[in-house]
Amino acid sequence: MVRRRRVLFTDQQLITQHEKGLNDPEIADELGAHVSTVLARRRKLGLEAQGRRPLFTDQQLIERHEQGLNDREIADELDVNRSVISRHRKRLGLEAQGYKRTVTDQQLIALHKKGLNDPEIARELGVKDSTVFYHRKRLNLPSNARK
């Protein structure tokens, strides 16, 4: 039995998408095919690869850096991984911004003195239980019993 391959898209469909300036992953998404299928067919047709689309511009990063945002905050705004921001920031010669603490020692100590346990303190401060646990341990505060 000879197995025939199912044609997901025509050569003309691929050429049309390529002429629009789409790269292989974008074409694959448009045509509902796997990237490797698009790559192989594009090469067979002698079409040059399109470059990757930048995730963000240098100017977007610079503007957010000038606003005083740190790498994590910029990454959240631009919806990319923090390491990508860090790498681009270093390439642009920008200094790292300090990280803002989500919990101050005074806040944690005050809530701990009120008898609140870690989950209750976390809810009060709007942070994770593990953040409270970490800072409580760092300050050598004993655990308050659950109520």
User: How does pLDDT run across 92-104, given as a tens digit for each residue?
Assistant: 999 888 766 678 8
Specify if 132 maps to a domain: yes
What does the block give as tokens for 42? 């594009």
Specify if 49 maps to a domain: no
How many separate domains does the chain show? 3
Range of the domain at 23: 11-44
Cα-based distances in Å from 55 to 33, 61, 96, 144, 145: 23, 11, 20, 46, 47
Specify if 51 maps to a domain: no
Confidence label for 6 from pLDDT (cuts 50, 70 and 90)? low
pLDDT digits (tens, 9 = 90+) for 18-53: 999 888 988 999 999 998 999 999 999 999 988 877
Specify if 2 maps to a domain: no
23: number of Cβ within 10 Å: 17
pTM: 0.44
